Chains A and B, each alone.
Chain A
Amino acid sequence: MMIEIIDIKSSLRVKIWVQAIWSVMASFIGVQSNTNRERDFEHGRFSVFVVAGLLMTLIFLLSVYGLVQLVMMYVQ
Chain B
Amino acid sequence: MSKAFTLALSLLSTPALADWQLNMNEGVTALSREIFDLHMLIFWICVVIGVAVFGVMFYSIFKFRKSKGAVAEHWHENTTVEVFWTVVPSIILIAMAVPATATLMDMYDTSEADVDIQITGYQWKWRYQYLDEDIDFFSNLSTPREEIVNESTKNPNYLLEVDNALVIPANKKVRFLVTANDVIHSWWVPHFAVKKDAIPGFINEAWVKVEEPGVYRGQCTELCGKDHGFMPVVVEVKSEADYEQWVADQKAMKLAMADEASKDLSMDELIAKGEGVYQAACSGCHQPNGQGIPGAFPAITGSAIATGAIDAHIDIIVNGKTGTAMQAFKEQLSAVDIAAVVTYQRNALGNTVGDMVQPSAIQK
Which A residues are closer than 8 A to B by beta carbons? 29-34, 67, 71-72, 74-76
Interface centre among A30, A31, A33, A74 (most CB of B within 10 A): A31
Confirm or deny: B48 has a beta carbon within 8 angstroms of a beta carbon on chain A. no
Q: Which of the candidate stretches B4-12, B97-105, B180-188 sits at the interface with the other chain?
A: B97-105
- Give 23 pairs: A residue, B residue, CB < 8 Å, sorted on A: A29-B83, A29-B86, A29-B87, A29-B90, A30-B86, A31-B79, A31-B82, A31-B83, A31-B86, A32-B79, A33-B77, A33-B79, A34-B76, A34-B77, A71-B97, A71-B98, A72-B101, A74-B98, A74-B102, A75-B98, A75-B101, A75-B102, A75-B105
* B83-99 Cβ-contact flags toward A at 8 Å (1 or 0): 10011001000100110
Q: How large is the interface on B (under 10, 10 to 19, 20 to 34, 35 or more residues)?
A: 10 to 19
- Closest A residue to B83 by CB, please name it: A31
When distances are taken between beta carbons in the complex, the residues of chain A under 8 Å from B101 are 71-72, 75
Closest B residue to A67 using CB positions: B94
Look across to chain B and name the residue whose beta carbon is closest to the beta carbon of A33: B79
Ranked nearest first, the 6 interchain pairs of A and B with the lowest CB-CB distance are A31-B82, A75-B102, A29-B86, A33-B79, A71-B101, A71-B98
**Cα–Cα distance between A33 and B80 once the two chains are bound (Å):** 10
The chain B residue sitting closest to A70, CB to CB, is B98
Q: For residue B102, which residues in chain A have a CB less than 8 angstroms away from its CB?
A: 74-75
Q: Closest approach, in angstroms, between the C-beta of A20 and any C-beta of chain B? A: 17
Complex Cα–Cα for A72 and B98 (A): 8
How many angstroms from the CA of A4 to the CA of B94 in the assembled complex?
47
The residue in chain B whose Cβ has the minimal distance to the Cβ of A64 is B94
Q: What's the dominant secondary structure at chain B's contact region?
A: helix
Instruction: State how many angstroms separate the Cβ of B243 from the closest Cβ of chain A.
Output: 32
Distance, CA A29 to CA B86, complexed state (A): 7
List B residues 192-206 near A (Cβ within 8 Å).
none
Please report the C-alpha to C-alpha distance between residue A68 and residue B59 in the assembled complex, in whole angstroms.
Answer: 39
A32 to chain B: closest residue by CB: B79
Q: Beyond the given A30-B86, A34-B76, A74-B98, could you list 8 further A-B residue pairs with CB under 8 A, ordered by the A residue number?
A: A29-B86, A29-B90, A31-B79, A32-B79, A34-B77, A67-B94, A72-B105, A76-B105
Kindly report which residue of chain B lies nearest to residue A72, judged by CB atoms.
Answer: B101
A10–B238 CA distance with the chains assembled, in angstroms: 78
Interchain nearest-CB distance for A29 vs B (Å)? 5
* Chain B residues closer than 8 Å to A74, beta-carbon distance: 98, 102
What residue of chain A has the Cβ atom nearest to residue B94's Cβ?
A: A67
CB distance from B76 to the nearest CB of A (A): 6
A70 to chain B, nearest CB (A): 9
**What chain B residues lie within 8 Å of A34 (beta carbons)?**
76-77
Residues of B within 8 A of A72 (CB): 101, 105
CA distance in complex: A74, B97 (Å): 12
| CB-defined contacts of A32 to chain B, threshold 8 Å | 79
User: Smallest CB–CB gap between B88 and chain A, Å?
Assistant: 11
Inter-chain contacts of B98 with A (CB < 8 A): 71, 74-75
Kindly report which residue of chain A lies nearest to residue B103, judged by CB atoms. Answer: A75
The complex places the Cα of A71 from the Cα of B105 at a distance, in Å, of 11
User: How far apart are the CA atoms of A62 and B102 in the complex, in Å?
Assistant: 21
Q: How far is the CB of A60 from chain B (nearest CB, A)?
A: 12
CA distance A67 to B76 in the complex (A): 35
Min CB gap A16→B, angstroms: 20
C-alpha gap A34/B77 in the complex (Å): 8
> In angstroms, how far is the closest chain A Cβ from the Cβ of B136?
37
A33 to B77, CA, bound (A): 7
Binary contact track B60-83/A, C-beta < 8 Å → 1, others 0: 000000000000000011010011
What separation, in Å, do the CA atoms of A53 and B357 have in the docked complex? Answer: 78
Tell me, rounded to whole Å, the shortest Cβ–Cβ distance linking A67 to chain B. 7
CB distance from B242 to the nearest CB of A (A): 36
CA distance A67 to B94 in the complex (A): 9
Contact partners of B86 in chain A: CB under 8 A: 29-31
Complex CA gap A1/B93 in Å reads 54
Q: B87 → chain A, closest Cβ, in Å?
A: 7
Identify which of residues 333-356 in chain B touch chain A, using a CB-to-CB cut-off of 8 Å.
none
